[in-house]
Amino acid sequence: MDNLWGTQAPLAERLRPRTLDELLGQESILGPQGPLRALVDKGKVGALVFWGPPGTGKTTVGRLLAHRFGARFVQASAALTTMSEVRTSLQDSRREWLRTGTRDLLFLDEIHRFNRAQQDVLLPFLEEGAVYFVGATTENPSFALRSALLSRCQLFVFQPLGAQELQALLDRALGDSRGYAGEVSLCGKAREFLVQYADGDARRLLSALETVVAVVGTGTLGVAEVSTALDRKAPRYDRAGEEHYNVISALHKAVRNSDVDGSLYWLARMLEAGEDPRYVARRVVRMASEDVGLAEPEALPLAVAAADAVERVGMPEAELALAQAVAFLALAPKSNALYVGYGEAKADVASTSNEPVPLHLRNPVTSTMKEVGYGQGYQYAHHLPHKVASMSSLPPSLSGREYYRPGEAGWEGRIRERLQSLRRWIMGEGKQGD
Determine which of 109-113, 206-210, 283-287, 385-389 has the lowest per-residue pLDDT on average: 385-389
Residue 434 has pLDDT above 80, yes or no: no
Give the full edge-to-edge strand order of the sheet including 132-137: 73-77, 105-109, 132-137, 47-51, 154-157
May I ask the CATH class of domain 243-331?
Answer: mainly alpha
Residue 1 has pLDDT above 50, yes or no: no
Between CA 420 and CA 430 the distance in angstroms is 10
Do 306 and 325 contact (CB within 8 A), yes or no? yes
pLDDT the model gives residue 234: 53
pLDDT the model gives residue 321: 95
| pTM as predicted | 0.58
3-state percent helix, strand, coil for the chain, nearest multiple of 5: 55, 5, 40
Do 27 and 172 contact (CB within 8 A), yes or no? no
Strands 105-109 and 73-77, sheet pairing: parallel
Candidate CATH numbers 1.10.10, 1.10.3710, 3.40.50, 3.30.70; the one for domain 357-426: 1.10.3710
Q: What is the mean pLDDT of residues 327-343?
A: 90
Do 218 and 183 contact (CB within 8 A), yes or no? yes
Residue 174 has pLDDT above 90, yes or no: yes
Residue 265 has pLDDT above 50, yes or no: yes
Do 391 and 429 contact (CB within 8 A), yes or no? no
Between CA 286 and CA 276 the distance in angstroms is 16
Q: Is 119 helix (H, G, I), strand (E, B) or coil?
A: helix
Q: What is the mean pLDDT of residues 193-214?
A: 90
pLDDT the model gives residue 232: 67
pLDDT the model gives residue 5: 46
Contacts of 359 (CB under 8 A, 6+ apart): 373, 374, 375, 376, 377
pLDDT the model gives residue 411: 81
**Amino acid (one-letter) located at 333:** P
Give the model confidence (pLDDT) of 62-78 as tens digits: 999 999 999 999 998 98
pLDDT the model gives residue 337: 87
Determine which of 236-240, 332-336, 353-357, 423-427 has the lowest per-residue pLDDT on average: 236-240
Position 431 confidence tier, pLDDT thresholds 50, 70, 90: low
Determine which of 58-72, 134-148, 324-338, 355-369 has the lowest per-residue pLDDT on average: 355-369
Between CA 422 and CA 143 the distance in angstroms is 42
Q: What angle do CA 129, 135, 140 make, to 5 degrees?
A: 130
pLDDT the model gives residue 3: 47
Between CA 310 and CA 304 the distance in angstroms is 10
pLDDT the model gives residue 60: 95
pLDDT the model gives residue 415: 81
pLDDT the model gives residue 237: 54
Q: What is the mean pLDDT of residues 149-174?
A: 92
- The percentage of the chain sitting over the pLDDT mark of 90, rounded to a whole number, equals 36
pLDDT the model gives residue 7: 52
Do 51 and 26 contact (CB within 8 A), yes or no? no
CATH fold group of domain 163-229: Helicase, Ruva Protein; domain 3 (1.10.8)
Between CA 372 and CA 362 the distance in angstroms is 11
Residue 122 is classified by DSSP as T
Q: Where are the domains of the chain?
A: 26-157, 163-229, 243-331, 357-426
CATH architecture of 26-157: 3-Layer(aba) Sandwich (3.40)
pLDDT the model gives residue 175: 93
Position 382 confidence tier, pLDDT thresholds 50, 70, 90: confident
- Top mean-pLDDT range of 238-247, 324-333, 363-372, 403-412: 324-333
Between CA 370 and CA 379 the distance in angstroms is 15
Between CA 48 and CA 105 the distance in angstroms is 11
- The percentage of the chain sitting over the pLDDT mark of 70, rounded to a whole number, equals 94
Burial of 83 (0-12, 13-18, 19+ CB in 10 A): middle
Query: CA 423 → CA 198, 295, 383, 434, distances in Å?
Result: 54, 19, 18, 11
Position 28 confidence tier, pLDDT thresholds 50, 70, 90: very high
Position 240 confidence tier, pLDDT thresholds 50, 70, 90: low
408-427 as b/e: b if 16+ CB within 10 A? ebbbbeebbeeeeebeebbe
For 237-285, give the secondary structure using H, E and C. CCCCCHHHHHHHHHHHHHHHCCCHHHHHHHHHHHHHCCCCHHHHHHHHH
**Amino acid (one-letter) located at 51:** W
CA dihedral 197→203→206→209, nearest 10 degrees, is -40
Between CA 66 and CA 43 the distance in angstroms is 12
Residue 251 has pLDDT above 70, yes or no: yes
Between CA 161 and CA 300 the distance in angstroms is 29
pLDDT, averaged across the chain: 86
In which region does residue 332 sit, left (phi positive, over 0), alpha (psi from -120 to 50) or beta (all else)?
Answer: beta
